[in-house]
Chain A
Amino acid sequence: MLHTINKSPFENNTFETCTRFLLPGDPVLFIEDGVYAVQSGNKFTHEIERVLKTNPVFALRPDLDARGIGTLAEGVETVDYEGFVGLVEEHQVNSWF
């Protein structure tokens, strides 16, 4: 199951809530304001690293670019919209907002 998160973790507990329900192996995709979670060196980096031990983590590249986020927590992969579709091909979707 693909989990998408579109909220900044600084403003909203969606990321925290979503991670409680993650099963190992389920991919997590940050989109929209959610991508602020994966900027390297912020207060959520440790949590991202913890999730990465069991789950692949992606961020939507156009949303990162739009927000000027260049350096990501190590291990986070980026996808474009077609990559997003690719994840949806492989998984049912759980859109957290």
Chain B
Amino acid sequence: MKIGILLKEGPYNHQASDTAFKFAEAAIKKGHIVDAVFLYNDGVTNVTKLMDPPQDDRNIAGRWSELSKKHGVEILACIAASKRRGISDDILVEGSAITGLGTLTDIAIRNDRLVTFGD
């Protein structure tokens, strides 16, 4: 099955990003294709490489980057939401990109499921 994920909250403030990540990992483990994770609202702040949490905490941006590298999951931040929040190409972690809401529409159309995580 092909699954798209929509993540609407930023890292750390809410559990949404953690649940989305765990869900994506489990879906891949079960043999599904996680096509893309689309970041919206504050969700766009999931992929800034300026993120530098304490060593004993998870690095949420790094984790999304790894997921992209290992499994080819596209990690896509909405351009309008990114511009509002100061997220630009030069501060994105590897494996992520900025794109438009049209891409989210494509993700909704081409996948069997679109699963939303938010708060």
Contacts and interface: CB of A to CB of B under 8 A. Distances in A.
Interface of A: 6, 31-33, 62, 80-82, 84-86, 88-89, 92-93, 95, 97
B25 A95 contact: no
Interface of B: 1, 3, 15-16, 19, 22-23, 25-27, 29-30, 32, 113-119
Contacts, number: 44
Contacts of B30: 82, 85-86
B25 A81 contact: yes
A96 to B, nearest CB: 10
Contact of A88 (B22, B113, B119): B113
A81 B117 contact: no
A62 B25 CA distance: 14
